[in-house]
A and B are shown apart, each in its own frame.
Chain A
Amino acid sequence: MRDQETGCLFLKNVHYFDPSEGVLGYGNVLIREGRVESMGEVGPSGAVREIDGGGGLLCPGFVDLHAHFREPGYEYKETIATGSKAAVAGGFTAVCVMANTDPVNDNADVTRAIRERALDVGLARVYPIGAVTRGLGGEHLTEMGRLSEAGCIAFSDDGKPVSTSRMLRRALSYSRLFNRPVIDHCEDPELSDRGVMNEGSVSADLGLAGIPNASEEVCVARDLSVLEACGGRLHVAHLSTAGGVRMVREAKRRNLAVTAETCPHYFSLTDEAVRCHGTHAKMNPPLRRESDRLAVIEGLKDGTIDVIATDHAPHAPHEKEQEFDRAPFGIIGLETAFSLSLALVREGHLSLSELIYRLSFRPAALFGLPHGRLVPGGLADFVLLDLSGEWEAGRPGYYSKSRNSPFTGSLMKGKVLKTIVGGRVVFDGEGDVCG
């Protein structure tokens, strides 16, 4: 990796877009020592490698604020190596990974181990998210200072909500010391009550225990009240309900320091998908009704929902291939996120520039990461896109170690041609990850 970073790459014949300034141009991009040297009508002065972009769209690499790479502890589901391959194949050059590993990322040793492993792998940039409470136990705050120094860029007990309103209050207040956000998985476990899918007409038909919208909404309401009372920065993970979107919208109007993400499945599918995709349509929060799907899209349009994250949650086939109520929650998402999101542009909900903004610059800005820009002097982390390219999800396979996706076999529109991290091509078109 180092060799090429010091080298020089000449990318010619591309449309390039910088979402931080909203600038679109056409021409060539010269990259030296991992950074953009110049762009536009520039020549290949001293470049060791030249790539013809074929007129594709060059954007800053996507930044995922929410993924599970499962290492350490659950390497049979995913590793930092396979997760990173999936990331760059999906156009993501930076990925924030959740703390629910084994051991939990609640101490600096685990944080450093994750970062070192990711550097060895040398594909996507991996940013660890530290736990809010020790062992995700919900009782004692982690040493957020040491975790921040070791490289944690945010804190979350994701997989479950921050246990109590008192703990949330402490976490939001204390994390202000380091200007790091607290990410909450908003769910009231009492209302979810062993539910396994959205509560509604589909769960009624299928006889499966339901998770009501109120389960998310009660927790969003709690979090916003606590945030208002004690300050700090709150990032709401995987927003899925109309009520949740409405409350975040109102809170933003009142200038509370809240941001939010949703995931492609919440604006692509409804709970009807459970009927045909079974456990591959099982995730938490669950796929909701059509009215919620539309509200999530509305939230993205008006900026209530800041970013699209993946909640990439790999599980092994033997875990998903069992009874619906026994299978674990979660689906993989890194490799399909861009294509699914591009549908929002085709359907007229978002402009292409808004979409790129919500996949790159906006998430980077939320967590203070130096990504999401395509400007002279900026990091050369890019994705080259073919907006009309078609491919079939999961065929012949996924780069992820797991294949738990309801989209497998679906026709995807919008293709990642190349992914570049630090001036080095890490994913090269027709199925090559340059590991």
Chain B
Amino acid sequence: MINRLISPEVPAFGPHLLSVVDLSPEVLTGILDTAESFLEVGHQSVKKVPVLRGKTLLNLFYESSTRTRSSFEIAAKRLSADVINISTTQSSVTKGESLIDTVRTIEALGADGVVIRHPSSGAPAFVSSRVGCHVINGGDGCHQHPTQALLDLFTIRRKLGRIGGLTVAIIGDILHSRVARSNITTLSRMGARVRLVAPPTLLPRGIEDWPVEIFHSLEKGIEGCDVVMALRLQLERAAGGFIPSVAEYARLYGLNAPLLERVAPGALVMHPGPVNRGIEISGEEEFTESSAILSQVEFGVSVRMAVLYLLMGGGPEEVLAGGAVPDKGGKE
């Protein structure tokens, strides 16, 4: 296992994962290959490897999240790291502590890495410029969600065998979506063609240079696609005037079985979750074989293990030493 872990030649990246913008196709492939080798760990009876033994990872979540937070937690624990979860409802953040003070405090406690989920775009980058530990963006505002894009890449590659040459439609609230921003970059960098399908009110202005094709009609946008990725619609968008009503959105942009007859044979249906049933997707029971939504969750753990390992693992030698001489970690 350990030997296989070191085998993928992953070009260096880090010390932080704030955005996918700086990740070359080689780094992306390296992360996916590493995730591939971690997939096995989840199928062992003892789901643990000692590569992050003695390291502490902090999950700092300023927004509610079930799957991302628990996915990072499981990933870190499978790598034998110690994990502390802090959510804003139970910390001094509710007492008015500033982000920078919270993070300094946490650093003083000795964390080796911090996963930050924050409603303000750019918050993880801000933190990374002021602390000494690794910072991993667990989703910031409408900006980036790097590990989601990586797990989406991984899911597509595993299910369809490749990424280059595929056509991927991303459907919904592109304007407010960090998932879309990260996915557009990673998918196009790996050679996929990306389509955005959304009403004009949910598309950002100033995207003329994005490597995408824009569709307002769902029917036309998903025609012949290999992957259709629906985004979660925040229900308050109707109150904000971006759409007249959730019902109209569902009628114009909701995926269902009859519509999915237009996609390419064997196409995947994806969603970053949690799904608003009956809005972004309805009648999923009619196309269970094409739905990759639960695989995304499962693969998310391996992908996050790969990211944590590559950023915090300290390189192959340390990993080898940790694996080959089990006592060493305990003595330090």
> Which chain A residues have a beta carbon within 8 Å of chain B's beta carbons?
199-210, 212, 278, 318, 321-326
Contact = CB atoms under 8 A, between A and B. Distances in A.
Contacts of B207: 201, 204
Given A206-B143, A322-B99, A325-B141, A201 B120 contact: no
B35 interface: no
B205 interface: yes
Most buried by A among B121, B126, B205, B209: B121
24 contacts: A200-B206, A201-B206, A201-B209, A202-B206, A203-B205, A203-B206, A205-B181, A206-B143, A207-B140, A207-B142, A207-B143, A207-B144, A207-B178, A207-B181, A208-B122, A209-B142, A210-B206, A278-B122, A318-B98, A322-B99, A322-B100, A323-B118, A323-B122, A326-B120
Interface string B152-196: 000000000000000000000000001001000000000000000
Interface string B196-233: 00000000111111100000000000000000000000
B111 interface: no
Given A322-B98, A322-B100, A204 B206 contact: yes
B123 interface: yes
The 9 closest A-B pairs by CB, nearest first: A207-B143, A207-B142, A323-B120, A201-B206, A204-B204, A200-B206, A207-B121, A204-B206, A324-B122
B118 to A, nearest CB: 7
Contacts of A207: 121, 140-144, 178, 181
Contacts of A202: 206
Interface of B: 98-100, 118, 120-123, 126, 140-144, 178, 181, 204-210
A323 B93 CA distance: 14
Nearest to A201: B206
Contacts of A203: 204-206
A323 B141 CA distance: 11
B121 A324 contact: yes
Most buried by A among B118, B120, B140: B120
A379 B324 CA distance: 84
Nearest to B241: A193
Contacts of B100: 321-322
A326 B143 CA distance: 15
A208 B121 contact: yes
B205 A212 contact: yes
Contacts of B122: 206, 208, 278, 323-324
A76 to B, nearest CB: 15
Contacts of B120: 323-326
A6 B80 CA distance: 80
B177 to A, nearest CB: 8
Contacts of B142: 207-209
Contacts of B209: 201
B144 A324 contact: no
A75 to B, nearest CB: 21
Contacts of B144: 207
Contacts of B208: 201
Given A321-B100, A322-B100, A323-B99, 16 more contacts: A199-B205, A201-B206, A203-B205, A204-B210, A206-B122, A207-B141, A207-B142, A207-B143, A208-B121, A208-B122, A210-B205, A210-B206, A323-B118, A323-B120, A324-B121, A325-B120
Contact of B205 (A200, A208, A278, A326): A200
B40 to A, nearest CB: 35
A323 B100 CA distance: 9
A167 B207 CA distance: 38
Contacts of B210: 204
A278 B129 CA distance: 11
B186 to A, nearest CB: 14
A202 B123 CA distance: 16
B121 A206 contact: yes
A201 B206 CA distance: 4
Contacts of A322: 98-100, 126
Contacts of A278: 122, 126
A205 B175 CA distance: 10
Most buried by B among A205, A209, A325: A205
A319 B87 CA distance: 23
A324 B140 CA distance: 11
B243 to A, nearest CB: 15
Most buried by A among B99, B181, B204: B204
A200 B205 CA distance: 6
Nearest to A212: B205
A202 to B, nearest CB: 7
Contacts of B206: 199-204, 210
Nearest to A289: B206
A203 B181 CA distance: 12
Nearest to A196: B121
A379 to B, nearest CB: 46
Most buried by B among A202, A203, A204, A321: A204
B33 to A, nearest CB: 28
A206 B207 CA distance: 12
B238 to A, nearest CB: 16
Most buried by B among A199, A200, A206: A206
Nearest to A324: B122
Most buried by B among A202, A207, A322, A325: A207
